Structure 1
């Protein structure tokens, strides 16, 4: 938050205060963690900022934080990489793609989450709702959600079914 002056004469940027309040409402649990990380840079949507949860369990972290478009994109990248391994290189899928994604998510997951929240809050603000309704919706629609974990499990289950089918095709082609 930007402030100017000293003591009693401090002048606060109230738009920044409102933005932080809405972000805090939207984030819910662990809002202080994310706001602290993002306050360390002038461009949090691009900044390197390590997140251990995003590193170790990136797909589940993305689902838990309700970033479903990113979840689909990540699983799609994993599947496309595995398809390239199978049909272009003739290899069995391995963990290299997952390791790269894991490292990138650990390094830039907070920036991705910042972008997600800003987009959601901008949509709420542009909806023409009163500010109290925007606050209520930010708190209700945001935050961590266990349904996201279930969505992640479903997507990874489908990913494994598709990958198993593709691997069996590769094995059938090689052994005939």
Structure 2
């Protein structure tokens, strides 16, 4: 290696400083947080705090009151449709079990209250991987379809629950 005016002349001897590496990591993290903000939409700050708690505590268990109180509605609102459908079917079947079914239903609500943020984080992270290479306009279309919330799904689920309840009551 030669020096000319105090500078190294070989091109392959550059090692980034730890400060630069930390800056690069922070910048990448900031870009990812921007993508998450765009994707999540309403209550982004709430979910970012929950995701950070999960990272720091190394546990996916964080409490979510709406996920506990209105489990299938919260799941549908956050576009976790498969989860919502499974819970709705289980809830419907539990109606035939009487008090024991109510106890199981409470257990399911507690489980989703504790794990709902982890379910949602997994959903968000899977979609963030899909949008990383998209242009802004493409990302906006993708996010409108897959991200944010869906209040229409909540109303549809409420209507379906009313119909199912009416059908069950006519059978009894």
TM-score of the two chains, using structure 2 as the length reference: 0.72
CA apart distance, 1:103: 0.8
Counterpart-to-counterpart distance in 2, 1:116 and 1:133:
21
Higher Rg of the two aligned structures: 2
Counterpart-to-counterpart distance in 1, 2:125 and 2:116:
14
The corresponding residue for 2:6 is none
Q: Number of residues paired by the alignment? A: 154
Q: 1:11 to 1:124 in 2, by over 3 A?
A: closer
The corresponding residue for 1:136 is 140
CA apart distance, 1:123: 4.0
Stretch of structure 1 that moved more, 132-141 or 56-65: 132-141
Matches within 5 A, 1:1-176: 10-13=22-25, 14-42=27-55, 47-83=60-96, 85=97, 91=98, 94-125=101-132, 130-141=134-145, 142-164=147-169, 168=172
What are the ranges of 5 or more consecutive residues in structure 2 without an aligned counterpart? 1-16
Provide the aligned C-alpha RMSD in A. 3.1
Which structure is richer in relative contact order (CA contacts within 8 A, separation 6 or more)?
1
CA apart distance, 1:163: 3.4
Deviations, residues 134-164 of structure 1 (Å, cap 9, x unaligned):
4313542321222021122133224324533
4+ long deviations beyond 6 Å: 43-46
What are the ranges of 5 or more consecutive residues in structure 1 without an aligned counterpart? 86-90, 169-176
SS at match of 1:35: helix
CA contact (8 A) 1:38 1:44 kept: no
